[in-house]
Amino acid sequence: MARLTKRERRKKANRKTLVAVLCMMRVVNTVVQLYLLITDLIAERHRQRLRQKPHLRPNPNYYQHQIDALNRLVRQSDTTCHNQLRVNRHTFMTLCHLLTQNGLESSRNVTIVEKVAIFLWIIAHHTKNRRTILQFWRSGETISRHFNSILIAVLRLHNVLWYHPQPIPANEPDARWKWFEVHKWHMVSYSNAPIDYKN
């Protein structure tokens, strides 16, 4: 085989370079076409989802619904407040005042009145977190956090809220108390009596 001249060798090298460049351009072209095809498929799928589900806009009156729900419970009437929270409005506001004096404060988004209403609603109706979410228009995390904060604050008020009964003295001037008089010897004799006598 004859040896190639310098010019033929240059042409052969140029041909190889041209073939390599054409192959690279074909690969880049294929990658770009695949990218465009995938983005088109994703866009079409997104358009189909939008057609299937109507897009719901956020409620512009969301905060107004929260205020209305609280006003319905607390400020509408004593009967409504008692039926829903098991306390009348005066007792409810007294509890809010006691908790405020004890150091509880309103948060940025939830007032003390709403915190106490959430707490009493859950206690009164023995409801779960999910039902309370719908009643107060709050998230489950918010309901849980404020319920626990009020529970801890109420437990701290046990000295104020817990009633300590006073014993009745033996020489009580009120005549009604003599009917509830119990002597130790009566209890001892009753416990030692025969079984048929006890009945």
Type of residue found at 31: V
Contacts of 144 (CB under 8 A, 6+ apart): 129
Mean pLDDT of 121-125: 90
Question: Taking all residues of the chain, what is their mean pLDDT, rounded to a whole number?
Answer: 82
* Alpha-carbon gap, residue 32 to 138, rounded angstroms: 48
Higher pLDDT, 52 or 36: 36
pLDDT digits (tens, 9 = 90+) for 167-181: 777 776 777 766 666
- Residue the block writes with tokens 């409620």: 59
Q: Which two tokens stand for residue 8?
A: 């033929």
* Alpha-carbon gap, residue 99 to 168, rounded angstroms: 32
pLDDT digits (tens, 9 = 90+) for 70-109: 888 888 888 888 888 898 989 999 999 999 998 888 888 8
pLDDT digits (tens, 9 = 90+) for 56-69: 666 777 778 778 87
pLDDT of residue 27: 93
